[in-house]
A and B are shown apart, each in its own frame.
Chain A
Amino acid sequence: NAGVTQTPKFQVLKTGQSMTLQCAQDMNHNSMYWYRQDPGMGLRLIYYSASEGTTDKGEVPNGYNVSRLNKREFSLRLESAAPSQTSVYFCASSRDRDSYEQYFGPGTRLTVT
């Protein structure tokens, strides 16, 4: 089992460009999450999907959109990238919301110039 996979691993964008970060899990988990990690800020939840067909905002959703394509895949889209979105993005999944451990992907390092 690959666990949680993310693509790409690294990306450089210019301000105003758009891109989609892909995430997939093969553990048959119901819940999936997108976090961003910035120095000194810990892990901040952007969006989550408690189950297939549902998505909800997290702590820092502005500037992002998500799609739960199916049970396996959860993508994060930046419509018009800004330098403030330079960060490391982690996708995670868990069996169900909140009371179960989360499994993280390897992360995407995004730089917006």
Chain B
Amino acid sequence: GQQVMQIPQYQHVQEGEDFTTYCNSSTTLSNIQWYKQRPGGHPVFLIQLVKSGEVKKQKRLTFQFGEAKKNSSLHITATQTTDVGTYFCAGSGANSKLTFGKGITLSVRP
């Protein structure tokens, strides 16, 4: 079945550093979504990418969908303590359910 992989599961950065994480799928995706879960909270939708090579920005966050639609990246410029949390990608393919990756937990040292 479809698998969506996020490695590593944890990353620690110094406040002000940039951070990039990747999401890889075993199959071609029709769309990919990113969610953020703050500690003790619930996942909150951030963005959806649909087109090959698509790039979207939200303030300091940049999301990209790969040309082959099998991978995606999230880049955070100049991390802040408010960026702490777990970031999940989720992808769906033709006739397949949305599948979540295991997430990457980001900690930021002030």
Q: Please list the residues of chain A having a beta carbon within 8 angstroms of any beta carbon in chain B.
A: 35, 40-45, 48, 58, 90, 92, 97-99, 101-107
Contact = CB atoms under 8 A, between A and B. Distances in A.
Contact of B97 (A40, A97, A101, A107): A97
18 contacts: A40-B102, A42-B88, A42-B100, A42-B101, A42-B102, A43-B43, A45-B97, A45-B100, A90-B42, A97-B98, A98-B97, A99-B31, A102-B35, A102-B43, A102-B45, A102-B90, A103-B45, A105-B42
Given A48-B97, A58-B97, A97-B97, A40 B9 contact: yes
Interface of B: 9, 30-31, 33, 35, 41-45, 48, 88, 90, 92, 96-98, 100-103
Contacts of A48: 97
B43 A98 contact: no
A83 B35 CA distance: 29
B42 A98 contact: no
A90 B96 CA distance: 21
B23 to A, nearest CB: 12
Which 9 A/B pairs are nearest by Cβ-Cβ distance?
A: A42-B102, A101-B45, A98-B92, A104-B42, A43-B100, A98-B98, A104-B43, A42-B103, A107-B42
A99 B30 contact: yes
Contacts of B31: 99
A98 B97 CA distance: 6
Given A99-B31, A105-B42, A106-B42, 12 more contacts: A40-B9, A42-B88, A90-B43, A92-B43, A98-B97, A99-B30, A99-B92, A101-B33, A102-B35, A102-B45, A104-B43, A107-B42
